[in-house]
Amino acid sequence: SQKMEAVGQLTGGLAHDFNNLLAGISGSLELIETRIGQGRSKDVAKYIAAAQGAAKRAAALTHRLLAFSRRQTLAPRAIDANRLVDGMLDLIQRTVGPAIDVRRTGADDLWPALVDPSQLENSLLNLCINARDAMPEGGRIVIATENRWIDRAQAAAHDMPEGQYLALCVSDTGTGMPPEVVARAFDPFFTTKPMGEGTGLGLSMIYGFAKQSGGQVRIASEVGAGTTVCLYLPRHRGEADADGIDPERRPMAQAGAGETVLVVDDEPTVRMLVTDVLSDLGYTAVEAADGAGGLRVLQSDARVDLLVTDVGLPGGMNGRQMADAARVARPDLKVLFITGFAEAALFGNGPLEPGLAVLTKPFAVDALAARIREMIAPSTSPPPPRPPS
């Protein structure tokens, strides 16, 4: 009965939020069509902006749901959490406002963690926003990082394996929460904020992200005395990665001569959009609607510099299986998986093999173009012919 109630709350809240977003998208598209028919093309810019804004909010909502269900696509890296937090302090201070005093403490010898840095940044920002909302008259937020050894007794109390963890904690001097609210804090769409203020997905998203990363999140709170939320992430035994250039922030680059991309997706709209982007950038685009069709191209002598494929494909062969089969004859084939959620059995929790990458739907056109260019760029000469079968 409790599970059914939770499912009902989840689907009801999701339907409510999505109906609002779809109304903004469909209404904007209808008005764009009307204005173009009237020859009033100058009026369409605001409707395009409205539709794009609603689509981005819808994407953010689905990403939070996938985080809650632990099925989001993660790109884990060995990160230095001190460097990540320090890089966000200005953004956090601007977000919470001048009435909140943001303080920072951190261990000098902090262990690295293997985690998706963008999701950790989202989680930290969400926790700071929650802390701000709990202090309407102003107050103090303390962001702390430290190494934690979790022994057997602590592991049982926190419902997590014993071992070594990086702890990222956000404390506030706000109103605090009674035990019954703490017990429900991670439930999807549960919120103590007024109607229309907050989706109730922030903490559930953080919980799902922590669990998917092999960690845990716990809350300590007392009414009138503030709240502390701690995110525990398993210690990574290697060194933290140096910060590199974000490929999604590079300008779109044009294709080299003859570069060919195979696009495999069962959704015609997605295939159309991806192939149009490729054509605009000068690539030769080849399409297939399922794994069998894609594999026929890959097992031919056709030049293919990159395979862009959905993971969930019809016909009994998913995108990962198709890519693995193709790489038997084309061991250097580069593959970009475009997917709406992470199939853990296909990708696992660690880094992907060299030559493989994942881009989560929906994606920005410039992000797709930059990722394609980044993957193809190291190979400027045509790939060697496929060995005879």
> How confident is the model at residue 306, as a pLDDT?
92
Q: CATH number for the domain including 256?
A: 3.40.50.2300
Instruction: Out of 181, 200, 234, pick the residue that ends a domain.
Output: 234
Do 188 and 210 fall into the same domain? yes
Task: Provide CB contacts within 8 A for 380, sequence distance 6+.
Answer: 256
Q: Answer yes or no: is 34 within a domain.
A: yes
Q: Is residue 383 one of the residues assigned to a domain?
A: no
State the Cα–Cα distance between residues 20 and 62, nearest whole angstrom: 14
Residues 144 and 283 in one domain: no
In a domain, 216, yes or no: yes
Residues 253 and 368 in one domain: yes
- In a domain? residue 152: yes
- Tell me the per-residue pLDDT of 9-24, one tens digit each, with 9 for 90 and over: 556 666 667 777 788 8
Instruction: Give the CATH number of the domain where residue 148 resides.
Output: 3.30.565.10
Q: Would you state the pLDDT for residue 11?
A: 61
Q: Do both 147 and 185 map to the same domain?
A: yes
Query: Is there a domain that residue 134 lies in?
Result: yes
What confidence tens digit (pLDDT) does each residue in 200-216 have?
A: 456 777 888 888 888 89
**In one letter, which amino acid is 361?**
K
* Structure confidence by residue, pLDDT tens digits, 165-213: 999 999 999 988 888 888 877 765 556 555 444 444 567 778 888 888 8
Query: Does 226 map to a domain?
Result: yes
Last residue within a domain, chosen from 187, 208, 234: 234
Residue 28 has pLDDT above 90, yes or no: no
Total domains in the chain come to: 3
Judgement on whether residues 206 and 105 belong to the same structural domain of the protein: yes
Query: Which of residues 244 and 119 earns the better pLDDT score?
Result: 119
- For residue 45, the enclosing domain spans 2-68
Q: Looking at the structure, do residues 273 and 138 belong to the same domain, yes or no?
A: no
pLDDT band of residue 63 (cuts 50, 70, 90) is: low
Residues with Cβ within 8 Å of residue 360, at least 6 apart in sequence: 63, 72, 73, 338, 339, 340
Report the alpha-carbon distance of residue 49 to residue 36 in Å, rounded: 16
pLDDT at 304: 92
Q: Assess whether 257 and 228 both reside in one domain.
A: no
26: left (phi over 0), alpha (psi -120 to 50) or beta: alpha
Same domain assignment for residues 43 and 127: no
Cα within 13 Å of Cα(214), Cβ side: 19
Same domain, residue pair 265 and 148: no
Report which of residues 60 and 140 the model is more confident about: 140
Lowest mean pLDDT among 66-75, 120-129, 160-169: 66-75
Of 180, 201, 179, the C-alpha closest to 190 is: 201
